[in-house]
Amino acid sequence: MRAGIYQAAANIAVGELEKPAIHEGEALIRVVKAGICGTDMMIYAGKHPRAKAPLAMGHEFSGVIEEIKGQGFQIGDRVVVEPTLSCGQCEACKSGQTHVCKNLKLIGIDRHGGFAEYVSVPVDRLHRVPDELSDSHAALAEPVAVAVHTVRRSDLKVADNVVILGAGPIGLLIGLIAKEAGASQIVISDISPYRLKVAREMGFTAIDAKGENVEEIVASLTDNVGADIVFEVAGSQITADQMVNIARIQGQIVVVSVYKTAPKVELSAMHFKELSLTTTRCYSHEDFKKAIQLMAGQKIDVSPLISHELPIEEIEEGFKLMENPDESLKVLFQPNN
């Protein structure tokens, strides 16, 4: 089968992989749409600690069941894949928190994923796609689930002021979910003019962090009180400083970024403001179901996030687009043309 294969750092190209044979409890999925994630970009850069070449990346994908050896689904069902693979044996798994499994692995990182014509998937990782949900939107269920989990991890209440540091796909999706959860004002900062333009079109207040003072603008927008909830989604030292300074007294910071290098955080400033700091990792099975329901029920519109849809033959071009945040947000591939 054809696949977009990561071969080495900054080297990805279309090649051939053996079509997977499924085992009991698995389904063979004909991939329809598959999206590039920030983690895929880390793999592409050769900086992911687990992903090894040759690898068909892609953990955000939708498709159709081609073959199945399990219960609950049928050949021809449209599905989206929840890519997490937990061990079932560690303390987290035994307590029902499989998304923070001590040995967590992902389809598309630890085994071949959606940048291929076909992929084998455990049946319990499948979610049926409602008729009213397009294949392209279904492929975004995974990042939407990240945003759902993030907002549910926060203490967000109706009419709260929210600031999101970072207007990439996850930051924008957190904005959509926060709005659905009742936030009264949502402010998003970034340095990309293109992404800020999309943020404004989605109804958010956008701050150009390159040319404007984020802290001063947040203060003016909140009557010098600060944000009730700050979501840090940029992963830089600058935003690590900002998140403390723009949060209100007894406000909450939710760190979504996976920092590549450890930031310095002003704990004394957090101490005097009695700030709460929360972290978040991927999503639960329930979060994933909620993500599909929100999109299918038209509670959120993810269309503005899809900047490109390309055939798998253009996988190299897709990754080059993603390297430039002024050109792209979410790039989707079509492995089966």
Q: What angle is formed at CA 54 by the lines to CA 52 and CA 60, rounded to 5 degrees? A: 75
Is 58 within 8 Å of 33 (Cβ atoms)? no
> Which residues lie below 8 Å from residue 131, measured CB to CB, with a gap of 6+?
none
Helix axes 169-180, 141-153, angle to 10 degrees: 60
In the predicted structure, residue 233 carries a pLDDT above the cut 90 = yes
Mean pLDDT calculated for residue range 54-66:
98
pLDDT digits (tens, 9 = 90+) for 145-175: 999 999 999 999 999 999 999 999 999 999 9
The gap from C-alpha 190 to its chain's centroid, in whole angstroms, comes to 17
The candidate with the shortest Cα–Cα distance to 172, out of 150, 155, 154, 139, is: 150
Question: How big is the chain, counted in residues?
Answer: 337
Is 69 within 8 Å of 23 (Cβ atoms)? yes
Query: Is 95 in a helix, a strand, or coil?
Result: coil
Predicted pLDDT at 74: 98
Mean pLDDT calculated for residue range 280-301:
98
Mean pLDDT calculated for residue range 19-41:
97
pLDDT digits (tens, 9 = 90+) for 169-204: 999 999 999 999 999 999 999 999 999 999 999 999
Predicted pLDDT at 216: 98
List the structure tokens of 91: 């303390």
Count CB neighbours of 258 within 10 A: 11
The CA distance from 26 to 73, in Å, is 11
The CA distance from 106 to 51, in Å, is 10
230 HSE (CA, 13 A, CB side): 31
Residue 219 burial by Cβ neighbours in a 10 Å radius (0-12, 13-18, 19+): middle
pLDDT digits (tens, 9 = 90+) for 257-276: 999 899 999 999 999 999 99
pTM of the model: 0.97
pLDDT digits (tens, 9 = 90+) for 84-105: 999 999 999 999 999 999 999 9
130 falls in which pLDDT band (50, 70, 90)? very high
Predicted pLDDT at 337: 78
Mean pLDDT calculated for residue range 101-128:
98
pLDDT digits (tens, 9 = 90+) for 246-262: 999 999 999 999 998 99
Percent of the chain past pLDDT 90, that is, above it, reads 99
Predicted pLDDT at 215: 98
Q: What angle is formed at CA 63 by the lines to CA 61 and CA 68, rounded to 5 degrees? A: 120
Q: What angle is formed at CA 90 by the lines to CA 87 and CA 92, rounded to 5 degrees? A: 100
Q: Which amino acid is at 260?
A: K
